[in-house]
């Protein structure tokens, strides 16, 4: 069981401890706890799954991701949808994209890697870490970018959405799909993004 769930953990979670924590979140219901729904975004399969423990509750196919694909997000403007483990940090019901579930990106792990690579200044790193430690939304205006999450199309073109990945790094669903997703998502919902 651990082997199967840990394939979602990957190196982007920061090692075996984080992988074990993710596996505990996934297998928790089998152990009698952890029944909150969570989201698995599979960029390679172009689908979003609503999960409860190891069980799939709903599948939303034909999603779009960033023009740069799904992977390690190195900097603002690279149009990559970041892999990793995130939490829904805010909800915008008045979004031009119909409905927007914003992530707690940049995470501490992304900030640490960017600081090590000298993409992020010490001051930007400190702003991110301080916000996360206070339980606040991390700053969205650093060298790592921000304003990433799951959203609908709004008045966007459904044919373009169906044809190719078009976002600047977000995960896009149709308006109908994001409305269906809304019943499962709240502030704090876990979102795991893989490729």
Cα atoms in the Cβ-side hemisphere of radius 13 Å centred on 71: 8
- CA 163 → CA 61, 79, 80, 121, 157, distances in Å? 13, 17, 18, 38, 10
Q: What is the pLDDT of residue 28?
A: 53
Distances (CA, A) of 16 to 26, 33, 141, 155, 156: 15, 21, 30, 43, 41
Work out the pLDDT band at 35, boundaries 50, 70, 90. Answer: confident
Which residue do the tokens 């373009």 mark? 160
Res 2: pLDDT: 36
pLDDT bin (cut points 50, 70, 90) of residue 58 is very high
b/e for 40-74, b at 16 or more Cβ within 10 A? Answer: bbbbeeeebbbbbbeeeeeebeebbbbebebbebb
Q: Is the pLDDT of residue 4 over 50?
A: no
pLDDT grade, residue 172 (50/70/90)? Answer: very high
Q: State residue 40's pLDDT score.
A: 98
Q: In which residue are the tokens 């190719």 written?
A: 164
Short-list 136, 64, 126, 130, CA closest to 102: 136
Please check the confidence at residue 20 and state whether its pLDDT lies above 80. no
Region of poorest pLDDT, from 19-23, 30-34, 188-192: 30-34
| Distances, alpha carbon 28 to alpha carbons 74, 88, 159, 166, in Å | 32, 20, 40, 35
pLDDT of residue 24: 54
Query: Tens digits of per-residue pLDDT, 68-100?
Result: 999 999 999 999 999 999 999 999 999 999 999
pLDDT at 32 over 50: no
Averaged pLDDT score across all residues of the chain: 88
Question: What pTM, to 2 d.p., does this model score?
Answer: 0.83
Residue 12 has a pLDDT of 44
Q: What is the pLDDT of residue 8?
A: 45
Minimum mean pLDDT among 26-30, 40-44, 145-149, 181-185: which range?
Answer: 26-30
- Residue 126 host element (H or E): helix 122-133
Residue 56: enclosing H or E segment and its boundaries? Answer: strand 55-61
Q: Which helix (H) or strand (E) holds 128?
A: helix 122-133
- The CA angle 35-41-42, to the nearest 5 degrees, is 125
């Amino acid at each position: 069981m651990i082997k199967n769930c840990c394939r979602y953990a990957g190196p982007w979670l920061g090692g075996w401890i984080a992988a074990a924590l993710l596996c505990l979140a996934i297998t928790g219901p089998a152990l009698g706890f952890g029944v909150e729904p969570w989201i698995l975004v599979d960029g390679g399969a172009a689908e979003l799954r609503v999960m409860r423990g190891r069980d799939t509750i709903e599948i939303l196919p034909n999603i779009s991701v960033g023009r740069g694909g799904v992977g390690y997000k190195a900097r603002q403007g690279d149009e990559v949808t970041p892999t990793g483990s995130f939490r829904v940090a805010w909800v915008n019901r008045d979004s031009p994209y119909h409905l927007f579930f914003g992530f707690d990106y940049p995470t501490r792990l992304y900030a640490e890697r960017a600081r090590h690579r000298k993409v992020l200044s010490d001051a930007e790193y400190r702003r991110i870490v301080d916000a996360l430690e206070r339980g606040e939304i991390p700053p969205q205006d650093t060298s790592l970018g921000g304003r990433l999450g799951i959203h609908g199309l709004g008045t966007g073109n459904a044919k373009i959405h169906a044809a190719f990945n078009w976002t600047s790094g977000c995960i896009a669903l149709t308006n109908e799909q994001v409305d269906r997703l809304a019943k499962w998502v709240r502030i704090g919902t876990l979102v795991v993004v893989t490729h």
